Amino acid sequence: MSRITKRATAAIAVAAVAGLALAGCSTDTSSEGADGEVVLTMSGWADDGIAEALIAQFEEDNPGVTIDYTGLPWPNILTQINTELVSGTASDIVVVFPGNGNPITAQTLAKGNYLADLSDSPWVSNYNEANQAVMGADGTILMGANAFTIIPAIYNTQALEAVGATPPTTWSEVLDLCKTATDNGKVAYALAAVAGGNYHTVPYALTATLLYGPDPDFVPDQYAGDATFSDSDWNAALDQYTELIDAGCFTADATGTALDIAQGQVAKGDALGMITVSPQISTIQDMAPDGATFETAAFPSTDDPADTFLPVGLGAGYGVNAKSENLDLAKKFVDFYLSEAGLRIAVDNGSIYPSGPVDGYTPPETLAGVSDQVQSDKTVSFPDQTWPNAVVNDAYTTGLQTFIGGSTTAATLLQQMDAAWNG
């Protein structure tokens, strides 16, 4: 999707004055249109209704400003924005992920000084120390995100009811659900193991309880050289992944199944649920027949429900291209995006869990099963946000596909991840 908004022509003098004022008295107006309007460019997600609503309000609040929006699909968005930043052709405002682990994370882009410093922005204080640590590098804030992303198990309520089941709260109940689903001609969990699928989120859910929750020093120990993937409870998580595969818990041809197919299985009730990131709930809802409803629960990996940790990470957000010709105006949009007014627009136009305060906000019904835990101390960040480079994520996602397909062992996969960490 490419959204190009052209506002009605305003008087050149008025628009120029407005542009200067909006840019905080900057003389940087080289992106003025022929009619004097200021054109900001923005690269975001394809079919993003929240971005569209934010842009409409920002343009209304700032006469003479137009935002030229380019929507990019997953996973192409990773390489395209990175390539454009490196080549100096990127938009003024770009999608940035927190932490590390892919080509457009804050810490990856910090190495090339591709992003503007946002440390003095008014919204920075809304985030705790752990969040701020992944929003930039070396104490400098380089991006902000309007939502927390959760990795729950998302269930089709009517499909669960049809087989007489409820969301499992223990590992044994997970395996029981798999058998119940199979006995009723369904699968318990939809799984897409091709590129862009949800296959990589399953170990995140498992290691939350088996490793990162009970051992918060694991990551610092890795950086100190005192811990490795190979000698950790990642082994236990991959053993459980194998147990799920062997028990028939997943889509039969997962290694040949794309994400939209897996989402459709949940939407139609052919699969009872799916372990994936919370923003996919709205996509699944859009695919579902009228009357279908969905619910969420933390995915367990022990037989004590009190053990279960929930992966909750700061989601993807926006940063400002350091080479933007409208730097102050681009920062102003990010400030609006993360203001309470901007967060209000986001929660009104999407199924998100806002990262900042929104007066009167109540979580959508689909997130009711995890909303209390999101605000508790039984959460952990996504592992890849703490990894030192994007190569670890490449080793993980590529190796995990072959692990699921049965041609790589857990030991080999974890050794490859350790090698990438030390790379």
Overall average pLDDT of the 16-25 stretch: 31
Q: pLDDT per residue over 107-137, tens digit each?
A: 999 999 999 999 999 999 988 887 898 999 9
Distances (CA, A) of 210 to 94, 241, 313, 404: 35, 12, 17, 20
Check residue 32 and give its pLDDT: 61
Overall average pLDDT of the 245-258 stretch: 96
Q: Is residue 221 pLDDT above 50, yes or no?
A: yes
Q: Is residue 30 pLDDT above 60, yes or no?
A: no
Pair type for strands 38-45 and 93-96: parallel
Entry pTM: 0.79
Q: pLDDT per residue over 58-71, tens digit each?
A: 999 999 999 999 99
**241: nearest Cα among 281, 197, 202:** 202
Q: pLDDT per residue over 332-387, tens digit each?
A: 999 999 999 999 999 988 778 898 888 888 888 999 999 989 888 899 989 988 89
The Cβ-side half-sphere exposure at 255, using a 13 Å CA radius, reads 11
CB 363 within 8 A of CB 66: no
CA–CA separation, 275 and 273 (whole Å): 7
Angle separating helix axes 327-337 and 12-22, nearest 10 degrees:
70
Residues 19, 23, 26, 31: is their CA dihedral positive or negative?
negative
Which residue's entry shows tokens 């991840």? 417
Overall average pLDDT of the 240-246 stretch: 98
Overall average pLDDT of the 226-236 stretch: 98
Overall average pLDDT of the 399-411 stretch: 96
CA–CA separation, 337 and 347 (whole Å): 12
